Homo-oligomer: A and B are copies of this chain.
Amino acid sequence: MLDKVLNARSVAIIGASKNVTKRGFQAIKILQEEKYEGEIYPVNPREESILGLPCYKSVTDIDQEVDLALITTPARTIPPIIEECGKKNIAGAVIVAGGFRELGEEGTLLEDQMVEAAQRSGVRLIGPNTSGMINMKTNMNLVGIKNAPKGGIALICQSGNMALTLITEAMIRKHEGFTYYIGVGNEADIKFHEYLEFFRNDPETKSILMYVEGMSQGREFLQQAYNTTKIKPIVLLKSGRSISGKRSAGSHTGSLAGMSEVANAAYARAGIVVIENSDELFPVAQTLSSLPPIKNKRVAILADGGGHATIGADLLSDYGISLPELNEKTKAKLQEILPPAASVVNPVDVAGGTDSNPAIFADCADIILKDHNVGGLLIVGLFGGYGIRFTESLAIPEEDAAHRLGKMVQKKNKPILVHSLYSSYDSHPIELLRHYNIPVHDSLDVTCKCISSLCQYGDYLTSYQAKTNFVFNWHAKARKRGDSIIRQAKAEGRKVLLEHEAKMLLRIHGMSTSVDKVATTEDQALEMAKEIEGPVVLKIISPDILHKSDAGGVKVNLKSESQIRIAYNEILLNAKNYKPEADIRGVLVSSMANGGLEVIVGTKIDDQFGPVIMYGLGGIMVEIMKDVTFWVLPISPTSAKKMLQDTRSSVILDGVRGQKSYDKKSLKRLLLLCSELIESYPEIEEMDLNPVILHHEGLDIVDARIILKD
């Protein structure tokens, strides 16, 4: 649907100008200079012609078909212009002007007006507040950044400066460029996920590179991302994670930066390679667009001398990549061609063995990549610079090696990446490597990140995530046997389910909670307690008292009749003292949970990504160590398993210090039931199961809180 917009065969420049300092002039000039393959129609009521092109009074005066309009006029003029574009059947418009949502209330109003006009007129909008867009295939450059290199990367960017940075970097690094650039701006009409869908279906686009400050429809984006990463990689940097960063992002695109823990979990869930370090953004996208992913997370390092090898090994270990032992045959073969001082364990150190003939690097690479333990190879050091550092003639065997390394990647379908401190010298051997799509960087950190991203993406592709058919769109499930509980609360005008209601809802869906009933008299409480084996707990039930303990509304470990009678009365007295006007429904009588491991499970609706679930060990692990994991709902059994593994404290579930392991099966079932519950009742805003006591067999949900949407 975006095809006519992003592959427009004709562009009207609305706000065309003869003034060389105006965007309306520069836009036409750049299209001409870059040799745009389509038609250009300047629109300005006061001009006859601009830059040799006839000028039109309005778009409706243009006698040919127009696909796209670039509008360079100020914010307030735009809604009527869009109506006119609609009349001309123009498919899309790029809105350059700022002065919309990023400026606050008044701007938001104008933006809403503009979007309404667009929807009425059937015109799709890119922006506003955008540097524009580029289609590199047709040279439709609506930005003004010249000489952007062509290649296989689609760039979606929420900052014009970052686009300029990435395109400039591509120019300097050479040998990989772009299919499209889209400045999403305020994302007023066309959203991130729509661009994503378009690029998934674009055959020239090999990878998608994104810079995001915040997105308005995170769940739709995840769905499209999830479908896309099965086919081609997405690399994303999300900024605005700190308070200062959020403030900066807010003043810039007016976007909601959101909670980064949730965002990172969500992106990971959809198979996106998330980058934290802006230096790595372009190199990783370049790597993923041209090299095969590594599916076994195992990499070998080939070096001449220490230092680089040691640092590289450290970095790869940080990324969770193993440097496997080479097998005996591999080692023997390497020993044959390398001097005795060489180290043939991984990292392999040729120890000067290539000094007189750097082509030996290719021999070593061939031997190493034949080893089935090795999924990819990282060459570190000086390769491509032997001719510079030592004798000029060494460039010849280096070139030979470069040809062989390049063909090796294609033949073996295992990637090779090269770190060379001579990378920026662009020697011919280095140019050759790049010709064969082998990235060469002078930063060891960046090279290690690149090879690790191949492992990360490969791991995702082989993992369950890419194999299941996950649907991020939200559909209420049929099983809604607890509807009456929610209806009752709503009828009473309540936003919160009472504890016994929440637990009832959970039990209806098969969760194990403490058995409990609400007593309205002392005698009734005693009767109920007698039916329960072991000590009981009494808790106040009132829609007006959410924090029961603070109100003195909880008494635990009650064993005798007298204890229960005293507790019952004390609780009522405390509640009345705490909030005299409280609507008291009674006292909940529950069995007392046995000791075990305290965990917390919760769900909430994230502003960007919709329903998410949280899990962690209770107490200080959640409060202080923030050792929790988030996941986007719904979850699969494999996701539930992965959630348990994701916390650093997960080993406790397996039993530490010789303790018995806890009942992970029940815990996983609980997570899945929560997922189902949230699918079944879209009315639920937030659910808090805290604490859940996990036993060696079974678990108890001791307290449950459910908050409904407004």
Residues on A lying within 8 angstroms of B by beta carbon are 98-99, 103, 158-162, 164-165, 168-169, 172, 211, 213, 237, 239-245, 247-249, 251-253, 277-279, 301, 303-311, 313-314, 316-318, 322-323, 341, 343, 345-347, 349, 381-382, 389, 421-422, 424, 442-446, 620-621, 623-625, 627, 648-649, 651-652, 656-657
Q: For the complex, what is the distance from the CA of A172 to the CA of B443, rounded to whole Å?
A: 13
Q: For the complex, what is the distance from the CA of A443 to the CA of B168, rounded to whole Å?
A: 12
* Given the contacts A161-B305, A310-B240, A248 and B347 also touching, CB distance less than 8 Å: yes
Q: Which of B165, B253, B389 contacts A164 (CB 8 A)?
A: B389
Q: For the complex, what is the distance from the CA of A234 to the CA of B317, rounded to whole Å?
A: 26
Q: Which of B303, B309, B445, B648 contacts A624 (CB 8 A)?
A: B648
User: What are the residues of chain B within 8 A of A253 when measuring CB–CB?
Assistant: 306
Q: For the complex, what is the distance from the CA of A156 to the CA of B343, rounded to whole Å?
A: 25
The reply to whether A308 and B161 form a contact with Cβ atoms under 8 Å apart is yes
- A352 to chain B minimum Cβ distance, whole angstroms, is 9
Q: Which of B239, B304, B322, B623 contacts A310 (CB 8 A)?
A: B239
Q: For the complex, what is the distance from the CA of A565 to the CA of B425, rounded to whole Å?
A: 83
The reply to whether A314 and B252 form a contact with Cβ atoms under 8 Å apart is no
Of A237, A311, A444, the most chain B CB neighbours within 10 A belong to A311
The reply to whether B445 and A313 form a contact with Cβ atoms under 8 Å apart is no
Closest 7 CB pairs of A and B: A159-B307, A252-B306, A242-B317, A244-B313, A245-B314, A162-B307, A161-B307
Q: A162-B307, A242-B316, A251-B306 are in contact. List 7 more A-B contacts (CB 8 A).
A: A160-B305, A165-B421, A244-B347, A248-B306, A248-B313, A252-B349, A620-B656
28 contacts between A and B (CB under 8 A): A159-B306, A159-B307, A161-B303, A161-B305, A161-B421, A162-B307, A162-B308, A164-B421, A165-B307, A168-B422, A169-B421, A172-B424, A211-B307, A213-B307, A239-B314, A242-B313, A242-B316, A244-B314, A247-B347, A248-B349, A251-B306, A252-B306, A277-B445, A278-B443, A279-B279, A620-B649, A623-B656, A624-B651
* Given the contacts A421-B165, A649-B625, A160 and B307 also touching, CB distance less than 8 Å: yes
The reply to whether A349 and B314 form a contact with Cβ atoms under 8 Å apart is no
Q: Which residue of B lies closest to A159 (CB)?
A: B307
Q: For the complex, what is the distance from the CA of A599 to the CA of B657, rounded to whole Å?
A: 17
The reply to whether A445 and B251 form a contact with Cβ atoms under 8 Å apart is no
The reply to whether B213 and A421 form a contact with Cβ atoms under 8 Å apart is no
- A451 to chain B minimum Cβ distance, whole angstroms, is 14
Q: Which residue of B lies closest to A99 (CB)?
A: B341
Q: For the complex, what is the distance from the CA of A322 to the CA of B245, rounded to whole Å?
A: 11
Q: Which of B249, B343, B345, B381 contacts A161 (CB 8 A)?
A: B381
Q: Which of B251, B278, B620, B648 contacts A345 (CB 8 A)?
A: B251
* Given the contacts A306-B249, A349-B251, A164 and B382 also touching, CB distance less than 8 Å: yes
User: What are the residues of chain B within 8 A of A158 when measuring CB–CB?
Assistant: 307
The reply to whether A317 and B245 form a contact with Cβ atoms under 8 Å apart is yes
The reply to whether A98 and B341 form a contact with Cβ atoms under 8 Å apart is yes
Q: For the complex, what is the distance from the CA of A223 to the CA of B211, rounded to whole Å?
A: 46
* Given the contacts A240-B314, A341-B103, A649-B624, A278 and B445 also touching, CB distance less than 8 Å: yes
User: What are the residues of chain B within 8 A of A306 when measuring CB–CB?
Assistant: 159, 161, 213, 248-249, 251-253
Q: Which residue of B lies closest to A251 (CB)?
A: B343
The reply to whether B164 and A310 form a contact with Cβ atoms under 8 Å apart is no
* Given the contacts A160-B305, A625-B627, A648-B625, A311 and B349 also touching, CB distance less than 8 Å: no
- A112 to chain B minimum Cβ distance, whole angstroms, is 20
Of A247, A322, A623, the most chain B CB neighbours within 10 A belong to A247
Q: For the complex, what is the distance from the CA of A310 to the CA of B212, rounded to whole Å?
A: 11
- A344 to chain B minimum Cβ distance, whole angstroms, is 10
* Given the contacts A251-B306, A251-B349, A323 and B244 also touching, CB distance less than 8 Å: yes
Q: For the complex, what is the distance from the CA of A620 to the CA of B625, rounded to whole Å?
A: 12
User: What are the residues of chain B within 8 A of A445 when measuring CB–CB?
Assistant: 277-279
* Given the contacts A244-B316, A252-B349, A310 and B624 also touching, CB distance less than 8 Å: no
Q: For the complex, what is the distance from the CA of A322 to the CA of B247, rounded to whole Å?
A: 13
User: What are the residues of chain B within 8 A of A307 when measuring CB–CB?
Assistant: 158-162, 165, 211, 213, 239, 252
The reply to whether B161 and A382 form a contact with Cβ atoms under 8 Å apart is yes
* Given the contacts A245-B317, A305-B252, A625 and B625 also touching, CB distance less than 8 Å: yes
- A482 to chain B minimum Cβ distance, whole angstroms, is 32
- A659 to chain B minimum Cβ distance, whole angstroms, is 11
The reply to whether A656 and B309 form a contact with Cβ atoms under 8 Å apart is no
The reply to whether B310 and A279 form a contact with Cβ atoms under 8 Å apart is no
User: What are the residues of chain B within 8 A of A311 when measuring CB–CB?
Assistant: 162, 237, 239, 245, 278
Q: Which of B98, B211, B444 contacts A278 (CB 8 A)?
A: B444
User: What are the residues of chain B within 8 A of A213 when measuring CB–CB?
Assistant: 306-307, 310
The reply to whether B341 and A249 form a contact with Cβ atoms under 8 Å apart is no
Of A308, A651, A652, the most chain B CB neighbours within 10 A belong to A308
The reply to whether A279 and B443 form a contact with Cβ atoms under 8 Å apart is yes
Q: For the complex, what is the distance from the CA of A172 to the CA of B385, rounded to whole Å?
A: 14
The reply to whether B165 and A314 form a contact with Cβ atoms under 8 Å apart is no
- A385 to chain B minimum Cβ distance, whole angstroms, is 9
The reply to whether A310 and B249 form a contact with Cβ atoms under 8 Å apart is yes
Q: Which residue of B lies closest to A341 (CB)?
A: B98
- A283 to chain B minimum Cβ distance, whole angstroms, is 12
User: What are the residues of chain B within 8 A of A162 when measuring CB–CB?
Assistant: 307-308, 311
Q: Which of B168, B309, B381, B443 contacts A421 (CB 8 A)?
A: B168
- A249 to chain B minimum Cβ distance, whole angstroms, is 5
User: What are the residues of chain B within 8 A of A301 when measuring CB–CB?
Assistant: 248
